Amino acid sequence: MTKIHVAGYQVNLFDISFFWKYLEQLDYSTLFILVDENTEAHCLPVLEKCNQQKLNYELIQIASGEVHKNLTTCKIIWDALIECNADRQSILVNLGGGVIGDMGGFCASTYMRGMRFIQIPTTLLSQVDASVGGKLGIDHQSLKNIIGLFQNPEAVFADPIFFKTLPGKQLKSGFAEVLKHALIKDKNHWQELCKISKIENLKSWDWILPKSIQIKKAVVENDPLESGHRKVLNFGHSIGHGIESFYLNATMPYLHGEAIALGMICESYLSFKKNNLTKDSLSQISKQFLREFDLNHINESDFDKIIAFVQKDKKNKSGALLLSLLSEIGNCQVNIECQADEIKESFRYFNTLIS
């Protein structure tokens, strides 16, 4: 097992059986496990198989998907905790992807002004992203994570054994965040990742998961409340979240990683125009994301609607659109002001790539 110490807690990698042994060391009143219909069917049996101690728990199930990451679902979780007499000595285990981790952690942190929670991220995206940083939240009025707080979990247990339960599309979605970590901090790692022919056929994660988590850990510990440098992690997300929010209720909405991949192409173009990223680097980044993801043309008539979501991004200030842009592969700078017309130009650049 690999252990990565993050300020305030520990990320335990590659041995999910240790989760149950860890619980035996804790003093708690009631154990709750939060799942959706997918993780109950596919991930809970993997976890339960390791429960040699036969520890008891109460199960809370919610509906899957970003569309349910809202106050209505939070009420279901809070009601279940109340009905089962959860107290401040109870523990909520969030078994699932980013939606489960974000929302479960948010509900635990606000229940009785705070009960402990443990994250068991089951997707690649949640293992390399949500497992570090203590960001919790829900969507409201179609705005991503607009209601939330910072609160660290008791511990994180991440094991690629759960990747076997994922559709290939979900695995690729998580790979977008892995690529982002390399783009903002490690050129050599980026080059190694670009050599992977098919992420679905990858045999070992022992050189990817720890590296990606270590990159995020270094950024987060330097700026835990996102007052400055931590915003480098927002690369691709200002536009990506706008794309994700706009298409949230579409027939075929973008997965988070797909939207962020599109956002990183657009923000790489802005990096080229405004922050000295070379044309060769822009081309390399664009080709890599287009090779990995099936992305669709953006209708010109939708540009303003998407930008309306971008304008509500939490990193903006006094109406100014502040983006994190690359100066080169492996180096990112924050708070670079961009205009709406420049973002539209980046959409047009993207459209030329897939036309």
216-245 pLDDT, tens digit per residue, is: 999 988 888 778 899 999 999 999 999 999
Strand blocks (E) in 206-304: none
- Structural domains in the chain, CATH included, are 2-164 (3.40.50.1970), 168-354 (1.20.1090.10)
Query: What is the band of 250 on the pLDDT scale with cuts at 50, 70, 90?
Result: confident
Query: What is the band of 260 on the pLDDT scale with cuts at 50, 70, 90?
Result: very high
Q: Would you state the pLDDT for residue 252?
A: 83
Give the residue among 162, 318, 298 at the shortest CA–CA distance from 242: 298
Q: Would you state the pLDDT for residue 201?
A: 79
277-319 confidence digits (pLDDT tens) = 999 999 999 999 999 999 999 999 999 999 999 998 777 776 7
Neighbouring residues of 126: CB distance < 8 A, sequence distance ≥ 6: 96, 97, 98, 100, 101, 119, 174
| Helix/strand number for the chain, H first, E second | 14, 11
**Whole-angstrom distance, CA of residue 305 vs CA of residue 242:** 9
Task: Say if pTM beats, i.e. exceeds, 0.75.
Answer: yes
Query: What is the band of 195 on the pLDDT scale with cuts at 50, 70, 90?
Result: very high
**Whole-angstrom distance, CA of residue 234 vs CA of residue 7:** 21
37-52 confidence digits (pLDDT tens) = 999 999 999 999 999 8
Residue range 112-130: mean pLDDT, rounded: 94
The 8-class DSSP code of residue 300 comes to G
Burial class (CB in 10 A: 0-12, 13-18, 19+), 196: middle
Greater model confidence, 5 or 148 = 148
